[in-house]
Amino acid sequence: MSYLLYHDKGFNYFSPTRLFYDPGYAVIDATILQANGRAYLIAKDETATRPKKNLRISTSDSIDGMYSDADPPFTPKGLAVEGPSAIMIGGEYLVYFDAYVDKHYGAMSSKDLKTWQDVTSR
């Protein structure tokens, strides 16, 4: 993933692009959650074969990187997901996602951003 930083309100000047995140496999649909003084990059592993197509988290001290190697997938095994959105509600972190093959939305919950529970039924 690459990105541009703009430098004026009229979008007249852009900084050069630079590599933002490269975990060694294809990624899409990234979102960043700031928590605990860190940046958590939640992205879809877009590896072409299943059981990939899951969500993984990388961390950084700064929102603009460098990000760590990705943690193991935290979404249900065998479920193809994409489009994460993350929020903290009542002391727990929730990551919502589109389980596009199975045609429903799902959610995972964590109090520490390491241990996850499927809360889709809630």
pLDDT digits (tens, 9 = 90+) for 71-100: 999 999 989 999 999 999 999 999 999 999
pLDDT of 82: 96
Q: What's this model's pTM, rounded to 2 decimal places?
A: 0.86
Query: Quick one: tokens of 38?
Result: 């860190």
Q: What is the dihedral of CA 8, 14, 19, 25, to 10 degrees?
A: 90
Tell me which residues of the chain have a pLDDT lower than 50: none
Chain mean position to CA 121: 21
Residue reference for tokens 């990705």: 70
Q: Which two tokens mark 104? A: 């429903």
Identify whether the C-beta of residue 116 lies closer than 8 Å to the C-beta of residue 110. yes
